[in-house]
Amino acid sequence: MASSIKCLIIGSGPAGYTAAIYASRAGLNPVMYMGGQPGGQLTTTTEVDNFPGYPQGVDGPTMMVDLETQAKRFGTDVRFGMATKVDFSSQPKKVWIDESTEILADSVIIATGASAKWLGLEGETTYNGLGVSACAVCDGFFYRNQTVAVVGAGDTAAEEASYLANLCTQVHLIVRRDEMRASLIMQERVKKNPKITIHWNSETEEILGDANGVTGIRIKNNVSQATEEIALTGFFVAIGHQPNTSIFKGQLDMDAQEYLITEKGTSKTNIPGVFACGDVQDSMYRQAVTAAGSGCMAALDAERWLAASNLH
C-alpha cells in the first residue's frame, strides 16, 4: 500500500537540505529521499571556502552532514533511496522509490542536481579533489599563482579559463578541434589574454600525479599525433553538466539541455505542486549558496501552494 505524505523532497545537497529545513519548520513534515549520491556533488569536494558561515572553510562531506543534521533537528524524515519513476498527472503525485516503493505526495520538491561531464580518464577519479575539478569558481582560489589547464571549447570553458587567468600564473586551454564553440566575444577574450595558451586539435591522454595530487598532464595533437607533457597542479574539466532529469521527461518542461524550467522568480514547474531547486534547474551559477537559496524558495512556494490548495 502506498504511503501518503505532505511534502516529498527528491535529492539531497544544499538545495534539498535547505528546502527540508524550511519545510520542516513550516510544519510540512517533509520526507527526503537522498538519491544515488547522498549529499550531492559537494561530497566529492575536499574543501569549501565560499559558503557563508564557515570562516575557516569546511570539507564538502562535513558540510553536507551539518546540513543533514540541521534538517533532521526540525523533524525531516531523511531516507536512503532513489526516485526511479514519477507520475505527476494526478493529485496526489505518485513517485516510486527504487522501482518498488510507491509514495503519494501532495507536493514534490525536486533537488536532484546535475552531474559534471568527464573525459573518462582514470586520473579524473584518482585525483578528484586533489587537483582535478569541474568548477573553477569553486576551486580556483586554491591554485593562485600556479599553472593549471582547462579542457573544453564552449562558453563555460572560456569563462573558466578567463576566471583562472585572474588567479593563476598560466592557464593551458585544451581544445579538441581547430576552433571553439564559444561565442565570439568569449573567444576573443581568451585569445587576447596573455596568460592563456590555447592548444588546438589536442586531447588529454593522461593526468599525471603522485600521492600529493596532480603534477601535470600529457596531451596529444590529434593531427600531428605529437605528444607533450605539461607541468601543472590543477586540471579543470569544463565540457558541461548533465542535469539529473531523465525520470521527469514527458511530464515536466525542460530546456534544450534538459534542465527543468521554472517560472521566473520562483521554483514552480509547469505542474502545480511540483517545484524544482538547485542545479537541476540552474545551468548558469551552479554554486552551493545559490542552490541553498533556491531550496528556500522551493519550500516557501510549496508551503504557500499547499495552503492555497487547502492541503496544509
Residue numbers annotated as active site: 135, 138-139
Kindly tell me the burial class for residue 87, based on how many C-beta atoms sit within 10 Å of its own C-beta (0-12, 13-18, 19 or more): exposed
C-alpha cell at 58: 569546511
Kindly tell me the burial class for residue 47, based on how many C-beta atoms sit within 10 Å of its own C-beta (0-12, 13-18, 19 or more): middle
The answer to whether the beta carbons of residues 175 and 202 sit under 8 Å apart is: yes
Rounded Cα gap, residues 150 and 162, in angstroms: 10
